Structure 1
Amino acid sequence: MTELVQTLVLSLLVGGIYALVASGLTLIFGVMRVINIAHGAFMILGAFITYTLWNQLGLDPLLGVLITTPVVFGLGWVTYRLLVRPIRHAPMSSTVLLTFGLALVVEGAMGEIWGNDSTSIRPSYVDRAFHVGNVFLPEAQVYGGVLAVLVLLALWLILTKTWLGRAIRAAAANPSSAELVGIKVTSVAALVFGLGLAAAGAGGAITGVLYPFVPGSHYLWIARLLAIVVLGGLGSLEGAVLSALVFGIAETVTAVYISPAWATAVPYAIVFFVLLIRPQGLLGTRLRDDAVTA
């Protein structure tokens, strides 16, 4: 029973981190109908920026989120204005190709700046753990999971309690009507792209403490994130959070009770079987073919 409780708690902590990064990806799709293949690359960029802050300045990597997040937000805003906005009305395949090319460029830039060797962020608490009775909880995962929840909560508050959030929800629901009531959808879209990548940057800062990474690590992450977003339902923030928790539980439970070799395969099998029954995902809705992009 103790092992089961420990496994489930660790699963939820990992799932919370997945939810943070996936929320940014599904937010971008929900407003702009853009599948951002570069999302994982910006996540790893956030990890490298955090590594530099920790290695050169001695800044705690989790506190470094306060710097990493706005930096990646700014990069996202500029990226949208310069690259995504000119083709926002093009077929979805065009933005997929564009963001895939962008991912390669970001990967190359990271390789030039930081090299291609495996990098790890190891603050003092990375080898410590909390003991609650017989339950063993690594401090880094606890801190990272709690921070991910706090950032997710901040994103939720922005989306539900601010004028920007109302504008984002209006632009996602009906861009044409949003324009009629004075919302400049293209400006909102730039902010959304920045917010989405900011979530990826924050997630990169956290995962950089938990896992080693190289510039090419973004391939593994974008595959995982796309699976989470599709399972939850494209454009559904609640669905992304739910499916991220499912993904985290499936990975951890499989690694502990079956075999680490199957920890990657089982979550994707769950995605496959869910989509056979519910093609739009757990909380998604079927998209209209005539949906207008921002």
Structure 2
Amino acid sequence: MTEFLQNLLLGLLLGGVYALAAGGLTLIFGVMRVINIAHGAFLILAAFITYSLWDVLGIDPLLAIVITTPVVFVLGWVTYKVLVAPIRTAPMASTVLLTFGLALVIEGAMGEIWGNNSTAIRPSYADESFAFAGLYLPKAQLYGGLVAVLVLAVLWVILTKTWLGRAIRAAAINPSSAELVGIKVTAVAALVFALGIAAAGAGGAITGILYPFVPGSHYQWIARLLAIVVLGGMGSLNGAILGALLFGVAETMTSAYVSPSWATAVPYAIVFAVLLIRPQGLLGKRMREDAVMA
């Protein structure tokens, strides 16, 4: 029972980190109907920036989030203004191709700057654990999970308790009506895209401690994040959080009780099984194809 509880806690902590990154991806889709294939590339870019801050300046990687996140926010805003805004109303396939190409460009830039060798962020507490009531919780995962929850809480406050949050919800539900009451939907879209990328940036700073990474790691991450978002329901932040927690627990339990080699496959099998029963995801809503393409 103790082992099961420990694995459950580790899975939930991991799921919290996944939720942070996936939340940004589903937020962008929920407001803009844009599937950002470059989301994983921005996450890995944030991990490399965090690595440099830790390796060169000695800044703790979790504290470096206060630097990494604003930097990635600005990159997201510029990306939207320069690349995404001109084709935002184009068919969804256009933005998928655009962001996929952007992911390749970011991957190449990271390879030129940091090289293609495996990189890891190893702060002093990376190999330390807390012992409590027979449980052993790695400090890196515990700290990372708590920071992810904190950032998600800040994002939730922004979305539910501020004027910007109300504008975002209005733009997501009915852009035309939002324009009529004075909300500049184009400006809101730019902020949403930047916020979503910033969430990926914060997630990248944390995942850089938990996993080694190379520029090409973004393929694994975008596959994982898309699976989480689809599992939870496209456009649903609560769904992304639920899907991420389930995904993290499934990975951890599979690794502990089946085999680490199956830890990646089993969560995807769960996604497939859920979608066979509920195609719109756990908390998603059915949407007409013509509405998605609007």
- Range of TM-score over shorter length: over 0.9
* Alignment partner, residue 159 of structure 1: 159
Distance 1:118 1:80, change over 3 A: same
Asked whether the equivalents of residues 92 and 293 of structure 2 are also in contact (C-alpha less than 8 Å), the reply is no
Render the CA deviation track for 1:177-216: whole Å, top value 9, x for unaligned: 1011100001000000000000000000000011100000
The CA deviation at 1:278 is 0.5
The CA deviation at 1:288 is 2.8
For normalisation by structure 2, the TM-score amounts to 0.99
* Alignment partner, residue 114 of structure 2: 114
Partner SS state of residue 122, structure 2: coil
**Structure 1: stretches of 5+ with no match in the other structure:** none
The CA deviation at 1:292 is 6.8
Render the CA deviation track for 1:151-201: whole Å, top value 9, x for unaligned: 000000000000000000000001111011100001000000000000000
Q: Is residue 16 from structure 1 mapped to residue 16 from structure 2 by the alignment?
A: yes
The CA deviation at 1:259 is 0.9
Matched residue count: 294
Q: Is residue 176 from structure 1 mapped to residue 151 from structure 2 by the alignment?
A: no
The CA deviation at 1:290 is 3.5
Q: Is residue 125 from structure 1 mapped to residue 96 from structure 2 by the alignment?
A: no
- The AA in structure 2 aligned to 1:77 is W
- The AA in structure 2 aligned to 1:270 is I
Work out the CA distance in 1 between the residues paired with 2:262 and 2:105.
32
Work out the CA distance in 1 between the residues paired with 2:204 and 2:293.
28
Asked whether the equivalents of residues 175 and 293 of structure 1 are also in contact (C-alpha less than 8 Å), the reply is no
For normalisation by structure 1, the TM-score amounts to 0.99
Q: Is residue 104 from structure 1 mapped to residue 104 from structure 2 by the alignment?
A: yes
* Alignment partner, residue 215 of structure 2: 215
Q: Is residue 141 from structure 1 mapped to residue 131 from structure 2 by the alignment?
A: no
The CA deviation at 1:291 is 2.7
Moved segments of 4+, more than 4 Å: none
* Alignment partner, residue 200 of structure 1: 200
* Alignment partner, residue 240 of structure 1: 240
Asked whether the equivalents of residues 175 and 292 of structure 1 are also in contact (C-alpha less than 8 Å), the reply is no
Work out the CA distance in 2 between the residues paired with 1:214 and 1:70.
22
- The AA in structure 2 aligned to 1:172 is A
Q: Give the superposed CA RMSD.
A: 1.0
Give % identity. Answer: 78
Work out the CA distance in 2 between the residues paired with 1:179 and 1:291.
18
The CA deviation at 1:261 is 1.3
- The AA in structure 1 aligned to 2:11 is S
